């Protein structure tokens, strides 16, 4: 229960990686506000947190809107009085060949993945600074931001590269307030989003889904894709006391796909 008494906010928490992170933080004792654009799934995550004996709050919000980000943080602080941890997990993508990316794709992806992460960091940091006792910001980036060639599309990779840069700059400038800022870079992870991308690729190439999954696993040195819980374990560590002197870092969780 290393996070007992802490207040966490997790975005994109309705399913997949975000849901796993929210539950892991609750298992460590944190009370968790969960946000997602899908009100039904985020309510389900909040209910699951409650069964663990922690307080929860479900917030329906679009992380591409600065106004809704501000409302999300206000609702969390109104309910719990403070924020100690924020995990910026919400993200969007789809499989696109580089020559097929259109302006609407670029804008949709960067609206959530880059702009949304920045303003979530900024808004949460305002609360942490005013509280005066530090905090933890954890950004979910991707090995795509480090040049992984198997990414869903170039616009997505660019948005995650932006997350890595923002993480380092924010870590430097917020260190004076005892706020640690780190990023997690998942590799191939078994989520509904990744399955959708895999299905789209299968349709585009004519390959079977089973063949694509086997090829994918064969490219991973450790031989398996991530589960959402693999990412959640790293988030729990970065939120906890063992990471008190860790900041400005980007941790790959990818089975060895990218080794830097």
Which residues are catalytically annotated? Answer: 156
Round to whole Å and give the CA distance between 229 and 57: 21
Rounded to the nearest 10 degrees, the angle between the axes of helix 39-51 and helix 16-27 is 20
Q: Which two tokens stand for residue 196?
A: 């959708």
Q: How many Å apart are CA 253 and CA 258, to the nearest integer?
A: 9
Cα distance between residue 136 and residue 22, in whole Å: 14
Instruction: Decide: residue 157, CB within 10 A, 0-12 exposed, 13-18 middle, 19+ buried.
Output: buried
Q: Show Cβ contacts of residue 99 under 8 Å, excluding neighbours closer than 6 positions.
A: none
Structure-token match 């969390």, residue found = 76
């Amino acid at each position: 229960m290393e996070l007992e008494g802490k207040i966490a906010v997790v975005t994109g928490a309705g399913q997949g990686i975000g849901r796993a992170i929210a539950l892991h933080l609750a298992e460590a004792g944190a009370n968790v506000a969960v946000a997602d654009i899908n009100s039904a799934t985020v309510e389900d995550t909040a209910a699951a947190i409650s069964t663990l004996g922690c307080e929860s709050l479900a917030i329906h919000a679009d992380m591409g809107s600065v106004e809704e980000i501000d409302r999300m943080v206000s609702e969390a602080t109104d309910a719990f009085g403070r924020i100690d941890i924020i995990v910026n997990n919400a993200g969007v993508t789809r499989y696109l060949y580089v020559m097929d990316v259109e302006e609407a794709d670029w804008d949709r992806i960067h609206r959530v993945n880059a702009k949304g992460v920045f303003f979530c960091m900024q808004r949460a940091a305002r609360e942490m600074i005013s509280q005066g006792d530090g905090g933890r910001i954890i950004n979910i980036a991707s090995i795509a931001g480090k040049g992984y060639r198997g990414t869903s599309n170039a616009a997505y990779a660019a948005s995650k590269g932006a997350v890595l840069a923002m993480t380092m700059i924010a870590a430097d400038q917020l260190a004076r307030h005892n706020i640690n800022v780190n990023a997690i870079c998942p590799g191939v992870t078994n989520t509904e989003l990744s399955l959708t991308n895999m299905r789209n690729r299968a349709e585009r190439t004519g390959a079977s889904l089973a063949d694509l999954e086997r090829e994918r696993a064969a490219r991973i040195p450790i031989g398996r894709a991530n589960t959402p819980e693999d990412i959640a374990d790293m988030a729990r560590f970065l939120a906890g006391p063992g990471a008190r002197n860790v900041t400005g870092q980007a941790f790959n969780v990818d089975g060895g796909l990218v080794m830097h």
